[in-house]
Amino acid sequence: MAMVTADASPPPAIEASTKPPEAENNYSSYNGASTAGAGAGRSRARGGGGGVVDSVLARGRREEMLDKCPLALHAAAAAFAFVALVLVASNQHGDWMQFDRYQEYRYLLAIVALALLYSLAQALRHAHRMRGGADPVSAASGRLFDFVGDQVVAYLLMSALSAAIPITNRMRTAVINNFTDATAAAISMAFLAFVSLALSAIVSGYKLSKQTYM
């Protein structure tokens, strides 16, 4: 009897249909790129908002500092001018060591007295304004007054220094004593007053340039 043998091995199982690897990879990269792009957009939005806030805060601090500068600089100028005034006025030691014998020192005394009065008045005005009081000068006129006044007084101080320095140098080449030392100290204080008013003029000039007339 003929025997019919059947192949014992089972038929190959039909694999479940799967997505092509290319399609899966493409989808994953597309999805990742979209997520990353959205995250970057949100980061940029947050960063942009923070930058605006930081800019506003920095501008506020700068405006506050510029608002306090005139008071500090005029107070410093008044202090330096007062010391210079005392040194010149008390520089009297008899004979040729009298400040009033030299027109250069008389001119220096007059200018440091003017610088003291101007700087003290300006410091009191700005202190009163910063404490909430009414400014006797309007805002627009006040910036112009600060700018012009600081420049004029600073120029007068430099003029007085230019007159007093040469004669003092000539005296100190011949003799160094209390008279020449006090004069040199007064010149130094007057120069510091000039620097304070020059810096105040720069600040007031900057504020004047930012002023709007609308």
Cα(123)–Cα(136) distance, integer angstroms: 13
In whole angstroms, how far apart are CA 55 and each of 48, 50, 67, 69? 11, 8, 18, 21
Coil, strand or helix at 201: helix
- Tokens 């995250």, located at residue: 39
With vertex at residue 9, the alpha carbon angle to CA 7 and CA 13, rounded to the nearest 5 degrees, is 130
Q: Give pLDDT tens digits along the chain (214 positions).
A: 444 444 445 554 444 444 455 544 444 444 444 444 545 445 454 555 566 666 655 555 666 676 778 899 999 999 999 999 999 999 988 888 889 899 999 999 999 999 999 999 999 988 888 887 676 676 667 788 889 999 999 999 999 999 999 999 999 998 888 999 999 999 999 999 999 999 999 998 888 887 665 4
Please say whether the beta carbons of 118 and 149 come within 8 A. yes
Q: Looking at residue 8, what DSSP letter applies?
A: -
Query: E strand or H helix at 174, and its extent?
Result: helix 139-174
Q: What is the reported pLDDT for 62?
A: 60
Q: Give me the residue spans of the domains in the chain.
A: 45-209
Q: What is the reported pLDDT for 158?
A: 96
Phi, psi of 155, deg, nearest 5: -65, -40
Q: How many CB atoms lie within 10 A of CB 151?
A: 17
Q: What is the reported pLDDT for 50?
A: 61
CB proximity list for 84: less than 8 A, separation 6 or greater: 108, 112, 186, 187, 189, 190, 193
